[in-house]
């Protein structure tokens, strides 16, 4: 399996996430100090805090929280970190790739290199989109409804973990963007696209094996990361693109992707 990554973008957002997280902690610390109004502060600054201390404290709380949350958003997607039952540190895109090892060169994996979707696998079955989730608690899926029950642990992780969101809608939006993109290839007769009808499917993948999943008739496939390889194999049995269409699809996506080789 070939892989194309936008390493420059990954590194940039990893760095941005770390800086935002650090900035958030610094701003929160400033707000805490301001609320105490310590006597060792310079007189002019202490005078300002005595007048506007409440505004400074609440402003720092809001700004610090916003920076920390935004930093966590980027870190969760672009930073390497340890994973349960694993001795290596890896980014989410690397964890996904590691669970697809063994596929031949007919498969191509695009990670953060296509604007339509961050995690795209192209192969004989067409296009598979993956929506990755890092949740570590309990997730309940009923049809198209996704929720995380209230827990103390969820409150403690509020700065480090996002909500579950709406994965089915995210996948549908990604499919629509990618379908529109493929329709512009203009490789068929009279400028029509041979790629416009390539099958596009999507699945939600949970990377953390400690998550508790309760799934009842979901509208999209819900997988643990170790189930991805079997899911792809099932799709290959269901759909077979011709070799010429697969080459055309892969070439078109590669030509319109942004990627660099990892050092």
Burial of 99-120, coded b for 16+ CB within 10 Å and e otherwise, reads bbeebeebbbbbbbbbebbbbb
Last-in-domain residue among 79, 104, 125: 79
Residues 36, 146, single domain; the answer is: no
Looking at the predicted structure, is the pLDDT value of residue 263 above 70?
Answer: no
What does the alpha-carbon distance between residue 76 and residue 72 come to, in Å, rounded to a whole number?
A: 6
Share of the chain above pLDDT 90, in %: 61
Residues 201, 94, single domain; the answer is: yes
134 is a domain residue: yes
Phi, psi of 205 (to 5 degrees): -120, 125
Q: Which range of residues forms the domain containing residue 208? A: 90-255
Residue with tokens 């063994």: 102
Q: At 154, is the pLDDT very low, low, confident or very high (cuts 50, 70, 90)?
A: low
Residues 57, 124, single domain; the answer is: no
70 is a domain residue: yes
Last-in-domain residue among 24, 55, 79: 79
Q: At 41, is the pLDDT very low, low, confident or very high (cuts 50, 70, 90)?
A: low
263 is a domain residue: no
Residue-wise pLDDT for 11-27, tens only, equals 999 999 999 999 999 99
169 is a domain residue: yes
Please list the residues that pair with 130 across neighbouring strands.
203
Burial of 77-98, coded b for 16+ CB within 10 Å and e otherwise, reads bbbeeebeeeeeebbbbbbbbe
Q: Where is 205: in which H helix or E strand?
A: strand 200-206
When divided into structural domains, the chain yields a total of 2
Residues 101, 155, single domain; the answer is: yes
Looking at the predicted structure, is the pLDDT value of residue 30 above 70?
Answer: yes
Residues 185, 211, single domain; the answer is: yes
Residues 226, 121, single domain; the answer is: yes
Phi, psi of 116 (to 5 degrees): -75, -30
Last-in-domain residue among 79, 101, 118: 79
Residues 65, 100, single domain; the answer is: no
| Mean pLDDT in residue range 37-45 | 69
137 is a domain residue: yes
Residues 38, 117, single domain; the answer is: no
Give the pLDDT score at 160. 54
Looking at the predicted structure, is the pLDDT value of residue 35 above 60?
Answer: yes
21 is a domain residue: yes
| Cβ atoms of 78 and 19 closer than 8 Å | no
Residues 56, 161, single domain; the answer is: no
106 is a domain residue: yes
Strand, helix or coil for residue 133:
strand
Give the pLDDT score at 61. 86
- Identify the DSSP state of 260: B
260 is a domain residue: no
| Cβ atoms of 202 and 174 closer than 8 Å | yes
Residues 32, 106, single domain; the answer is: no
- Identify the DSSP state of 226: G
Residues 179, 237, single domain; the answer is: yes
Residues 38, 146, single domain; the answer is: no
| Cβ atoms of 200 and 241 closer than 8 Å | no
Average pLDDT, the chain: 87
């Amino acid at each position: 399996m070939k892989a194309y990554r936008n390493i420059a973008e990954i590194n940039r957002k990893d760095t941005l996430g770390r800086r935002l997280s650090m900035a958030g902690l610094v701003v929160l610390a400033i707000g805490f100090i301001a609320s105490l109004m310590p006597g060792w502060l310079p007189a002019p600054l202490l005078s300002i805090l005595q007048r506007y201390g409440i505004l400074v404290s609440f402003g720092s709380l809001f700004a610090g929280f916003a920076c920390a949350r935004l930093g966590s958003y980027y870190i969760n997607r672009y930073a390497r970190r340890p994973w349960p039952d694993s001795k290596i540190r890896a980014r989410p895109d690397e964890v996904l790739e590691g669970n697809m090892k063994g596929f031949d060169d007919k498969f191509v994996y695009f990670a953060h290199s296509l604007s339509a979707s961050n995690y795209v696998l192209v192969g004989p079955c067409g296009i598979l989109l993956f929506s990755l989730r890092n949740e570590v608690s309990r997730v309940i899926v009923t049809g198209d409804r996704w929720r995380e029950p209230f827990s103390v642990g969820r409150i403690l992780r509020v700065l480090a973990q996002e909500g579950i969101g709406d994965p089915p809608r995210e996948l549908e939006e990604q499919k629509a963007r990618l379908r529109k993109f493929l329709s512009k290839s203009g490789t068929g007769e009279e400028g029509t696209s041979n790629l416009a009808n390539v099958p596009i499917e999507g699945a939600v993948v949970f990377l953390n094996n400690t998550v508790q999943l309760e799934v009842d008739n979901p509208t999209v496939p819900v997988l643990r990361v170790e189930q991805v390889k079997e899911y792809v194999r099932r799709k290959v049995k269901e759909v077979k693109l011709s070799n010429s269409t697969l080459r055309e699809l892969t070439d078109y996506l590669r030509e319109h992707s942004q990627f660099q080789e990892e050092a």
